[in-house]
Every structure is written in C-alpha cells, then in structure tokens.
Structure 1
Amino acid sequence: MSRHQKKNSFLNKLLYFVNSIFAATLLLSYFLSFVSPKTVPVFSVASLAVPFLIFVNFAFLLYWVIKLKKYFILSGIVLLIGWLFFPPLLKFTKKNIALNSDVKIMSYNVRMFNVYKWTEEEGIGEKIIQFIKDKDPDILAIQEYYHSKDTQLKYPYHYFAPKSKKNNFGLALFSKYKIINKGSLNFKNSANNAIFIDIVKGKDTIRIYNLHLQSLKLNPQKENFGEANSEKLIGRLKRGFIQQANQVEQFLKHETTWKGKKVICGDFNNTAFSWVYRQLAKNKKDAFNVAGINFGKSYNYFFPVRIDFILTDTKTKIHNFKTYSEKLSDHYPIMSRINFE
C-alpha cells in the first residue's frame, strides 16, 4: 500500500469515527423524547440539536456514497429510523384543499409588536397588523401580545389574558365565532401561560388553546458558548426544561376536562423531537405533518427549527398548512385550514 493510500485509509477511519459519534448522538437524541426533562434535565439539550444532527449525518451519508464506501450504512440506518418512527424534519409533499366550511387558524408570536425595539426597523407593529388583516384568519392565537390602541384587531370576539394586572402583555385569542367560555391556566413563576376559548360553529362547540411554554432564552447571536458561561448556560437550560415539563403536566391535566373537538396553537419553545412535543401531540394530528411542506421553519435560527405548532384532535380534518416567511418577529407566522364537519 502506498503512502497516499495509507493516508486516505487513516483519514477515512478518522472520519468514520467522528461519523459514529454523531450517529450515536442522533440515535440517543431520538429516544430522549421518551424521557421527562425532570428526570435528567441536561439530556434534554440534545433534543434541541436533532435538526443539526440530522444535517450532519446526511452530509456524512452523501460523503460515503460519493466515495463508494460502505460506511454510509451507519448514518443511513440512523436516518431511516428517524424517518420511519419520529416526526419529519423535512416534508416533500403538501396537502392543499380549500372548502367554504374550512376554518383558517393562525398562530403567531409577535414579540410584542416591537414595542421594546428589538429591531431598528420602523413600523413593525403596523406591518404585523396589516399582514394579519391580509391573511384574514378566522381564529388568531397570538403569543407575546402587547395590548394598546395601536395593536387592536377588529374581531367580533376576543380574549386577552395579561400576565399580571400591571402588564399589558400576555396571550390573546381572536375569533369570528362566538366565544361562550374562556379561561387561563396561570402558570406559576413564569411570564408564560396557556389560555383557552370555547367557540360555537354550527352545531359544534370547539375548544381553542393558545399555549406558550417557558422560554429557554437561548440566543446564538448573543450567547457566549465559551468556558466562562457554559455552566451558567447549562443551568439556565436545565431550569427552563423543568419548568416546561411542569407546565406541560398542568396543561395535560386541564386538557382532560374537555372531551370535544379541539385545537392547540402555540409556541412550545421546543422542537418536534422533544419530550414536550411528544406529550402534547399524543393522540393528535400535527397540521405540518399532515399538510405542510419543506422544513416548516418557524423560528429565526441558523438552522431550520420548528417550535410553533397547530395540533388538532384525530377526528378533525386538516386541509392545508403554511409557514410564512415574513421577518417581522423572531418567529414566523403559521396558518392551517381546518375542517370540523
């Protein structure tokens, strides 16, 4: 064997070793969605990295295929497991049906309409309001809603739940259908919350939840991932995951009180590969999985992350799902056409 061949052989073995680490990490990350963050909260960090790990393993797969090496089998098997048994990262086909009896439901984290100037761009609040008017959803769930005379939307029925009497921000639900009941779960020790309304459409009474789980406050643009802040970062993530788990348990307990048709909208602050999502989506349809296409990226992150969801009961028909590309917040709005008949 020549020196060049030996060098290539060593490089391939080294790359395969690195490949093995990424493949094993992805496989472990898949199954961490079955483990509550309250058990080992630090492991839940891995669920946030699943989209990135899928990309890395796919890159290794392509590399070995091009090199005509059987090493591609490792990443291929791990990716196949994810494709067959876990929510899709990427959808190649979509569903696009429009019936007069459909209900258009939008979920949107508006980042308080830029009241605190997270961006220097002018007129963000007005642009968000105009975007919503143009899309004209029948039901609108807003997270991080800021209530003022400039952010009022003309819906016949609405429910706004500020986090405290001193604040003008919280969760809001707007509806073209009559609201006959409403309420708030009032998460403790958190600026986040869950609210609901019961609406009447024809002969049906439908419950709509607006859910905003604990933020992990993870910002790659501002975060220093160096040694000095690593312990502080991990500690904050652990506390955030535990709070999310507690909030999910409170929500699921409340959800059992409703036996009729329902929709759960919101910003889960976690991915479709997390324990949080697995618990909330159990025995439900995910509008993106049924009718969406591409990555469904709903958060402005450096790789595709889907943390905003529309879920329904299994009997409800989902006819369309779309993630919009408007960069008016750190989240992208999502909307689905849903049919209850």
Structure 2
Amino acid sequence: MGRKAVFSLLHFLSVVLTLLLLAAAVLSWRASFVPPTEGRFWATLALLMPVILVANLVALIVWLVRREWWVSVLPAAALLFNLGYIASMVRLPDIGGERTYDLRVGSLNVNGFRRLGKRAFTAHEIAQLAAREGIDVLCLQEFQDDSEVSADSVASFFAGRMPHFVRDKGEAVISRFPIVRHGSVNFPQTNNGYLWADLDTGRDTVRVISVHLQTSGISSLRHRFRKAHDREAPVDLVFGEVERNSRRRVEQVSQIRALVDSTRYPVILAGDFNDTPSSYTYRRLKGELNDGFRERGSGYGGTFRYLGGLLRIDYIFYDDSLRAVRYEILKEDVSDHKAVVADLEFSNGRNGE
C-alpha cells in the first residue's frame, strides 16, 4: 500500500471517528431524558458527557487547523447540540456591579465538619464564612454532631446573624428569618434525605428545601476493594455501583419533585445532588425551576474539590417567584465541596398564602 493510500485510509478513519464522537454527543444528551432504571448504558453516557465534549472540542480544533471545513461541522454540531449542558458548566464573567437583593441563600456539604481537623473548629470557620458573606439562609448537608461538636454548639456559632435553626440527622437549615414550620424525610437504607423549612421573610413565606441525594459510591467501593484485594476496583464494578446508586436517586428525586410541585409558596431547592448537569437527576429536579448558576453564575461551575474540580454537583434552584441577581461559588476551603451562594430578589411570580 502506497503512502497516499495510507494517508487516505487514516483520513477516512479520522472522519469515521469524528462521526462516532458526534453520535456519542447526541446519545449523551439524550441520556439526561432517560431514567437510569432503563439500564447502565444511559447512566454511563451521562457520566461521560464531559469527556465526550472535550473529545469533540479537540476534534474541532484539529479539523479547523487542517482547514477541513466540512468535517469541522461535525464536532461543531456536537458542541452546539449540548449548549444547554455547557451553559450549566461555564459562564462568562459577571462584570455587573453590586446589586440589591431580598435574601442571600447559601448551600454547603460540610462533610461532617472534618476538613480543618477538629470538627468544632471547622464548624466555627464555616459560621465565620457565612457571617462574612452576609448569608441569610444556609442549607447544610452531611451535618454530623456528637460529644465533640453538638448541634446546639454549631447553632450558637451562627446565632449572631442567623438565630433560627432546624436539623434532622444529616440536614440543617439555618436562617436569619423565623422558621414557621419544617419537616424532613430520610430515604430508606441510606444516610441521605431532605429537610424543608418555611421561612417568614416579612415579604412572603418561602419554602427552602435542603437536599442530599445518594452518593455515587465510587470512593467507598474503591476503598473497600483496595482493603480486600489490595488493588483498584475493576471498571465493570465501578460502573455497576454508579448504576445502582443512580437508580436510587431516581426514587429520591421523585419524592422531592412531588414536594416541590405541591408547594404553594415560593420554592428554593438547594443542596448536594451528587449528579452533574448532564444527568436525569438534574433535568428532573430542575423541571421548570431556575438554575442560579445558569442565570447569574461566572466562570467554571465545578463544586467538588476532588477529581480535578471538574464536577458540578451542588446547586441552588428557585421558581419564578424569585430571580437571581448574583451567584457565586466560594473559594474558601472548609469542606471537600465548595459553598454556593445566590442573591435572590422577589419577582412578580406566584405569591404565597
């Protein structure tokens, strides 16, 4: 086979690979509409969305450099097809000045207050961060208390600005506004759940829902496998764990969605969803709600400090009764998650009772 024939074959295979990347991008977009209960294939595709889009971006650059315009249309189409996901992960810098707002809402998975050594010290630093940021309502996930740091002592750290406090197992809501009622649900056979609290803001009653959905289980699986076999867990076991926990999140999401849909007040849904914007979890929970980062975020949206900081799994959603005037991902390292903060104002949407 001559050199020209070899180059022709390689060019053909490159085009075929680019077509496959386009197909993968379309299928991974579709995966967010398909419940993970339909099988491992769709859950895996949703998880691989970032890798697939990066591969398409590389292909686009290569074909543009080579000035193969008609082939470059393929990866360009793949990226355009997934603009919704891209917009949920990357936003242009917000260059607006200070804006007025009605309430500043924050959310943070505190990882059991373990990040800075002594748990009481970590809890105190988180409270200081909330005070510096002027947060009015704070949702906390993986809230743990014991003899070292009791729930009452944690509440006292926040009491100067946010004197109202409710918690149930791993969830807590701390508020500057009075809490008129609250409730919680712990999902069966897990350490996860959600806590809702109705706040009297003076302008309207607002329902805040703090959520911690089922984890991916990858870290615990790897730890168990290394301990038992002194090596990394096989890929099929990892994806199997991802699928099982994705199925659990489908059930959990259905319960939360029912609560949101039945609430007559303005709703704020915040927390650690343990899933990315390419997932069924994100699409189902968001529904008609607004994603604060998409509306007023800036820069890259990653909120989990490990895995290169690539994953966005912490969110603040809200309905049309509210609108965001600013959204931030805080840099302070007080947990393995980053705190997210949304400045919200009341709009002309629905009113409470």
Deviation at 1:120? 11
Seq. identity, %: 24
Give the counterpart of 2:293 among 282, 288, 297.
Answer: 288
1:196 and 2:196 matched: yes
SS of 2:82's equivalent in the other structure is helix
- The one-letter code of the counterpart of 1:256 is D
Partner of residue 256, structure 1: 261
- The one-letter code of the counterpart of 1:192 is N
Partner Cα separation in structure 2 for residue 220 and residue 24 of structure 1: 33
Q: Normalized against structure 2, the TM-score is what?
A: 0.84
1:293-339 CA-partner distances (Å, limit 9, x unpaired): 22211112236221111000023111000112233322111101001
Deviation at 1:110? 1.3
Indicate conservation of the 8 Å contact 1:29/1:50, yes or no. yes
Give the counterpart of 1:308 among 302, 306, 314.
Answer: 314
Deviation at 1:256? 2.7
Indicate conservation of the 8 Å contact 2:180/2:199, yes or no. yes
SS of 2:312's equivalent in the other structure is coil
Closer, same or farther in 2 for the Cα pair 1:97/1:73, shift >3 Å?
same
Partner Cα separation in structure 1 for residue 60 and residue 192 of structure 2: 40
Deviation at 1:203? 3.5
- The one-letter code of the counterpart of 2:321 is K
Partner Cα separation in structure 2 for residue 274 and residue 321 of structure 1: 22
Task: Give matches, 1:1-341, under 5 Å.
Answer: 3=3, 5-69=4-68, 70-83=70-83, 87-94=87-94, 96=96, 98-114=98-114, 124-147=122-145, 148-149=149-150, 151-152=154-155, 153-154=158-159, 155-162=162-169, 170-219=170-219, 229-300=234-305, 301-302=307-308, 304-341=310-347
SS of 2:143's equivalent in the other structure is strand
Moved more, 192-201 or 227-236: 227-236
Closer, same or farther in 2 for the Cα pair 1:285/1:51, shift >3 Å?
same
- The one-letter code of the counterpart of 1:92 is L
Return the structure number with greater helix share: 2
Partner Cα separation in structure 1 for residue 295 and residue 333 of structure 2: 25
Query: Runs of 5+ in structure 2 lacking a partner?
Result: 348-353
1:105-162 CA-partner distances (Å, limit 9, x unpaired): 01111111117x8x89996454433322321310000111123246443221011111
Partner Cα separation in structure 1 for residue 193 and residue 324 of structure 2: 26
Deviation at 1:181? 0.6
Q: Normalized against structure 1, the TM-score is what?
A: 0.87
Deviation at 1:227? 9.1
User: Aligned Cα RMSD in Å?
Assistant: 2.9
Equivalences, count? 331
Partner Cα separation in structure 1 for residue 84 and residue 293 of structure 2: 16
Closer, same or farther in 2 for the Cα pair 1:310/1:228, shift >3 Å?
closer
